[in-house]
Amino acid sequence: MSHSSIQTTVPVEAWDDEAQQITAAQRDPRQFNRLYDRYVQPVYRYLFSRLGNPQEAEDLTSQTFLKALEAFPRYRHNGHFAAWLFSIARSKLVDHWRATHNLSSAPDENLPGNFDDPLQQVIETERVQTLRQLVAQLPDDDQELLRLRFTAGLSFGEVATLLGRSEDAVKKATYRLLARMQNQMEVSHD
């Protein structure tokens, strides 16, 4: 994956729009639905990537937003609403694992793809399997970094806030990790 294909900034208009949605929801809790609509898919994708089970991911997504709605009157907007929301999602995930004693974080997802060319499908299937193996071999912290950045779609700043690191440290760690994985992918396909 090239660095140029990764969006590293969030347009200022999106931040302003989010701030407006937060202000509106704080005045009228019924307006929280706009924040829900904005974040339900990223939260679901993140939880599904951790659980590999659509029903459990849907359930925890619902629990995340319920908890967020309950805690919302105490939320103080500092430009990192997504980090706050994903901290709730991560907490719900930990609670779920404790309750089910499920310590596995590797989902069993079906391989994507709708290829007309069978050879292209085989090649893509092999690449996806290799990538999954590489990700599964990463330390948990690196896997979490990738999930938050790419599966959940959080900005570098949001990931940094959530993980308690500087934005520069998160960027460097992400790019180094991606470069290392790209090298490993190239070696495995030689």
**What is the predicted pLDDT for the residue at 42?**
94
Instruction: Answer whether 131's CB lies under 8 Å from 181's CB.
Output: yes
Instruction: Answer whether 86's CB lies under 8 Å from 93's CB.
Output: no
109 secondary structure, DSSP code: P
Class of the CATH domain delimited by 3-103+114-188: mainly alpha
Q: Distances in Å between the alpha carbon of 49 and those of 30, 57, 107?
A: 29, 9, 6
Q: Indicate the domain borders of the chain.
A: 3-103+114-188
Question: pLDDT of the chain along its 190 residues, tens only?
Answer: 433 333 334 444 455 688 888 889 888 888 999 999 999 999 999 999 888 889 999 999 999 999 999 998 888 888 789 989 999 999 999 889 888 865 444 343 343 444 556 766 666 667 767 777 888 888 989 988 988 888 888 889 989 988 999 999 999 999 999 888 888 877 776 6
**What is the predicted pLDDT for the residue at 112?**
45
4 secondary structure, DSSP code: G
**What is the predicted pLDDT for the residue at 18?**
84
**What is the predicted pLDDT for the residue at 190?**
61
Give per-residue burial for 99-127: e unless 16+ CB within 10 Å, then b.
eeeeeebeeeeeeeeeeeeeeeeeeeeee
Q: Please report which residue ranges of the chain form alpha helices under DSSP H.
A: 12-27, 32-51, 54-71, 81-100, 118-137, 140-146, 156-163, 167-188
Q: What are phi and psi of 31, to 5 degrees?
A: -80, -5
Instruction: Answer whether 88's CB lies under 8 Å from 61's CB.
Output: no
**What is the predicted pLDDT for the residue at 67?**
94
**What is the predicted pLDDT for the residue at 110?**
41
The structure's pTM equals 0.62
